[in-house]
Amino acid sequence: MSIVKSLSVGKGDMFYIKHNSDNFTIIDCKMSEENKETIVAELKKESAGKGITRFISTHPDEDHICNLTYLHQKMDLVNFYCVKNEATKPDDTDFDQYCALRDDPNRAFYIYKGCSRKWMNQTDEERETSGIHILWPDTKIDLHQQALQDAKDGISWNNICPIFTYSLNEGATVLWMGDLETGFMEEIKDSVQLPAVDILFAPHHGRGSGTVPSDWLAEMNPGLIVIGEAPSQHLNYYAGYNTITQNSAGDITFECVTGKVHAYVSNWTYSVDFLEEDGQDYRYGNYIGTLRTKAGNAAAAGA
Rounded distance, CA 292 to CA 162, Å? 27
pLDDT of residue 303: 53
Which region, left, alpha or beta, applies to residue 9 given φ > 0 means left and ψ of -120 to 50 means alpha?
Answer: alpha
The DSSP result for 84-119, as a single string, is ------SS-HHHHHHHHHHT-TTTEEE--TT---BT
Query: End-to-end CA distance of the chain, in Å?
Result: 21
- Per-residue pLDDT for 301 more than 80? no
- Taking alpha carbons only, the member of 112, 156, 110, 165 closest to residue 137 is 112
- Per-residue pLDDT for 171 more than 90? no
Q: Is 205 helix (H, G, I), strand (E, B) or coil?
A: helix
pLDDT of residue 297: 76
Mean pLDDT of the chain: 96
pLDDT of residue 300: 67
- Per-residue pLDDT for 105 more than 70? yes
Helical H runs in the chain? 36-47, 62-65, 68-75, 93-102, 142-152, 182-188, 214-220, 246-249, 294-302
Q: Which comes out higher in pLDDT, residue 230 or 108?
A: 108
pLDDT of residue 113: 98
pLDDT of residue 302: 63
pLDDT of residue 207: 94
Rounded distance, CA 185 to CA 211, Å? 9
Rounded distance, CA 157 to CA 148, Å? 8
What is the pTM for the complete model shown? 0.97
pLDDT of residue 235: 87
pLDDT of residue 296: 75
CB 6 within 8 A of CB 27: no
Domains with residue ranges and CATH for the chain: 2-302 (3.60.15.10)
pLDDT of residue 169: 80
- Taking alpha carbons only, the member of 278, 202, 216 closest to residue 247 is 202
pLDDT tens-place string over residues 6-43: 999 999 999 999 999 999 999 999 999 999 999 999 99
- Per-residue pLDDT for 211 more than 80? yes
CB 134 within 8 A of CB 109: no
Which is it for the CA torsion 212, 14, 155, 235, positive or negative?
A: positive
CB 252 within 8 A of CB 227: no
| Position 298 confidence tier, pLDDT thresholds 50, 70, 90 | confident
